[in-house]
Chain A
């Protein structure tokens, strides 16, 4: 059993209303050291076998075509999760 992680974030030029709200809440709760917050999405894709280069390539393709919308989001990372127990 293997697992691929796909991280998707709002594009830098897109104002992230959710991140802004979280930043305001953090500041109210005493976490004043965080100047800003951006909120993204983490997808965990599991496969029966090992995470091969082909699996990673397919995960990247899925990330760009389905898991993200290129108008507003970027796929920022695609990697094998080494923490999955064999």
Chain B
């Protein structure tokens, strides 16, 4: 069975939900500890959401120096699929695996809502089970979610098809060009602010076409990587 590592830093909140999403998709979740410089032979890694190190210094800034991150950065450069969700996305930008950064939401409030996104790149390791342009709904919950980068970087991301998700029906946090998620040039490293792991099982997700809390639009992140790994 394909083994997907889920990292826990001090202050991580969503590691159990991420592990559960991996299991529901048909993979085997493997707990990875921030202080352990060992990936235990996993085939992919999820950096889950939360407030690692209390967001001290900057969101994700201290986690970047955790022993497990050195291994993840090396492995990501060799092609290991890595998904960063929310705080995990912030960690990936601080680790320079993805460009840009996140600052406080433009309206300064914490946001918690069901968010519509468009899938702008269905070719990455984490999005291949979606169709290009598809609209999906998954939860969004954060304080520091405003994606920023200089114009040149934004043009590069757009030109290379590396904007993977864009906010639809309004920009919830002031992110440049409505960007909700991006990937690296190779497409193995993906980061986004919204939370696919909270929309994987009917009864516990956002409202969907089949009724309240029936939405499971996040599950295909995890089936995508399983399919990418088995070829």
Given contacts A14-B148, A67-B57, A72-B148, contact A21 B106 (CB under 8 A): no
Q: Is A76 among interface residues, defined by CB-CB distance under 8 A? A: no
- Is A71 touching B104 in the complex (CB atoms < 8 A)? no
CA distance A21 to B103 in the complex (A): 14
Contacts of A21 in B (CB 8 A): 108
Contacts of A32 in B (CB 8 A): none
- Contact for B148 among A20, A67, A71, CB less than 8 A: A71
- Is B108 touching A14 in the complex (CB atoms < 8 A)? no
- Contact for A17 among B100, B108, B149, CB less than 8 A: B108
Residue of B nearest to A41 (CB): B57
Query: What's the nearest-Cβ distance from chain A to residue B28, in Å?
Result: 35
Q: Which of A20, A21, A67, A71 has the most CB of B within 10 A?
A: A71
Residue of A nearest to B144 (CB): A17
Q: Is A36 among interface residues, defined by CB-CB distance under 8 A? A: no
Query: What's the nearest-Cβ distance from chain A to residue B146, in Å?
Result: 8
Q: Majority SS of interface residues in chain B?
A: loop
Contacts of B104 in A (CB 8 A): 17-18
Q: Is B116 among interface residues, defined by CB-CB distance under 8 A? A: no
Interface size class of A (residues with CB under 8 A): 10 to 19
State how many residues of chain B have any CB contact under 8 Å with chain A. Answer: 19
Query: What's the nearest-Cβ distance from chain B to residue A62, in Å?
Result: 12
Task: Name the interface residues of B172-211: CB closer than 8 Å to any CB of A.
Answer: 174
Contacts of B150 in A (CB 8 A): 13, 71
Contacts of A15 in B (CB 8 A): 106, 174
CA distance A18 to B61 in the complex (A): 19
CA distance A72 to B147 in the complex (A): 11
- Is A69 touching B148 in the complex (CB atoms < 8 A)? no
Q: Is B120 among interface residues, defined by CB-CB distance under 8 A? A: no
Residue of B nearest to A68 (CB): B58
Given contacts A14-B148, A67-B57, contact A72 B101 (CB under 8 A): yes
Q: Mark A12-29, 1 if CB is under 8 A from B, else 0.
A: 011101101100000000
* B residues whose Cβ falls under 8 Å from a Cβ of A: 57-58, 61, 93-94, 99-101, 103-108, 146, 148-150, 174
What are 9 residue pairs bridging A and B, where the CB atoms are less than 8 Å apart in the complex? A10-B103, A14-B103, A17-B106, A17-B107, A18-B104, A18-B108, A69-B94, A71-B150, A72-B103
* A residues whose Cβ falls under 8 Å from a Cβ of B: 10, 13-15, 17-18, 20-21, 66-67, 69, 71-72
In the complex, the 3 A-B pairs of residues with the closest C-beta atoms, listed nearest first = A71-B101, A17-B104, A72-B101
